[in-house]
Amino acid sequence: MTTSNKITGDNNRVIIFDTTLRDGEQSPGASMNLEEKLQIASLLEEMGVDVIEAGFPIASNGDFEAVNEIAKRVKNSVVAGLARAGQKDIERAAEALKPAARARIHTFISTSPLHMKYKLRMEPDDVHQAVVDSVTHARRFTDDVEWSCEDGSRTEHDFMCRCVESAIKAGARTINVPDTVGYTVPEEYAALIEMLLNRVPNIDKAILSVHCHNDLGLAVANSLAAVSAGARQVECTVNGLGERAGNAAMEEIVMALRTRNDVMPFETGIDTTMITRASKLVSAITGFAVQPNKAIVGANAFAHESGIHQDGMLKNAQTYEIMTPESVGLNKSNIVMGKHSGRNAFRTKLKELGFELGDNALNDAFNRFKDLADKKKTVFDEDIVALVDDEMTRA
């Protein structure tokens, strides 16, 4: 069973809801100023993000102003503001979103036994009433209301079904099921989505959404499993920025759906050639470096050092690359010269640098390059130029 997609009308289209500016910013040390948030929002809009969660308006005047300015400027993406299940929160979000061409109020409350008892100190019936009241109130301001059951993956199923059914009756058009603490695993999360699709009678009136945190390193895997089970909105952040171990990384979700469309036949509206720019912008603004071996956007994601790999790459890039660097906005793969590099890669690198050596000189230069590579982690182009110059002087 699948949900229909109310934004595009296409069953196989996955809505990308980016929360870099809200959940991403909740990462300790990642706070951004207004100008920085506007830069990121405009890049997200340009790259085709469907929904930009711009902030949590009641959290601070700065957050209110950021959501308000983004709402004024963004025209093609829906702009969302977060609100707890209280009238003041919802009204503050509505006020901030007033100028938006397309505004969404995203309201949430915890539904797990643990959160209801210790965090909210509320009884389940009172939480259920708050769901109805908050969604009903939010609908007074916009017909695009999203409701989230915080700590959804640890929520008791009967209670979740009851809350989801009531949220939809009250007017929620997106139902988001967060794995707030990154606790679930793919099979279990997919089963949760299927359970909702099978048990909630009016579920076809809403889009099911997923929001995964990465505490066990499973945020992307869980999100993709949920999509295969029928979810049609994925909440994510650029570079996986977010609280604790972060959120599902947008670039990984989008490229996985694109690269493995044979087994996950779903589309997004993202221009993937803008992924590298988005990653670099978020990293530069937040000061959060991207780890070199990070999938899709790490400095080594398209770099090859081993001789066998370099040789294969030079013959046919598909031998060791499952997507092209150009598809994510990089110019070309990077052949990194080091102690594992082979003769073929060395010859190609020399050509790139403008050198054509005869067989003997090439052998000599290659042996000297290997000696150097044993002493240095990476041999830079300048090292090779110096080495060849020396070789030519000697000849």
Site of interaction with ligand KIV (CB under 6 A): 23, 108, 148, 150, 176, 178, 180, 211, 213
Residue 117 CA to residue 113 CA, distance in Å, equals 6
Beta carbon nearer to Zn ion, 241 or 362? 241
Token pair 């699709």: residue: 197
Of 58 and 301, which has the nearer Cβ to ligand KIV?
Answer: 58
On whether the CB atoms of residues 196 and 167 are closer than 8 A, the answer is no
Write out the two tokens for 62.
């700065």
Is 146 a binding residue for Zn ion by CB under 5 A? The answer is no
Place of tokens 């952040």: 237
* Binding positions: 23, 211, 213, 247
Residue 305's binding partner, choosing from ligand KIV, Zn ion, none, with beta-carbon cut-off 5 to 8 A by kind? none
User: For ligand KIV, which is the closer residue by CB, 9 or 28?
Assistant: 28
Binding letters toward Zn ion, positions 4-43, x by CB under 5 A: -------------------x--------------------
Q: Which of the 8 DSSP states describes residue 45?
A: H
Closest distance to ligand KIV from the beta carbon of 181 (Å): 8
Rounded to an integer, what distance in angstroms lies between the CA atom of residue 258 and that of residue 261?
5
235 or 311: CB nearest ligand KIV: 235
> How near is the Cβ of 210 to ligand KIV at its closest, in Å?
10
Longest dimension (CA), the chain: 88
Q: Tokens 């969302």 belong to which residue?
A: 80
CA distance 215 to 114: 18
Q: Which residues are annotated binding-site positions for Mn(2+)?
A: 23, 211, 213, 247
333 interacts with, out of Zn ion, ligand KIV, none, CB within 5 to 8 A per kind:
none
Do residues 265 and 12 lie in contact, with contact meaning Cβ atoms separated by under 8 Å?
A: yes
For residue 78, the surrounding DSSP H or E stretch is strand 78-84
Q: If you write DSSP's letter for every residue of 110-151 in order, what string do you get? A: E-SHHIIIIII---HHHHHHHHHHHHHHHTTT-S-EEEEEET
The distance of closest approach from Cβ of residue 22 to ligand KIV in the complex, given in angstroms and rounded to an integer, is 8
Kindly tell me which of 153 and 286 has the beta carbon lying closer to ligand KIV.
153
Binding at 311: pick from Zn ion, ligand KIV, none (beta carbon under 5-8 Å per type): none
Query: According to the binding rule CB under 5 A, does residue 150 interact with Zn ion?
Result: no
- Considering the rule CB under 5 A, would residue 179 count as an interface residue with Zn ion? no
Closest distance of CB 245 from ligand KIV, Å = 12
Do 334 and 320 form a contact (C-beta atoms < 8 A)?
no
Residues that bind Zn ion (CB under 5 A): 23
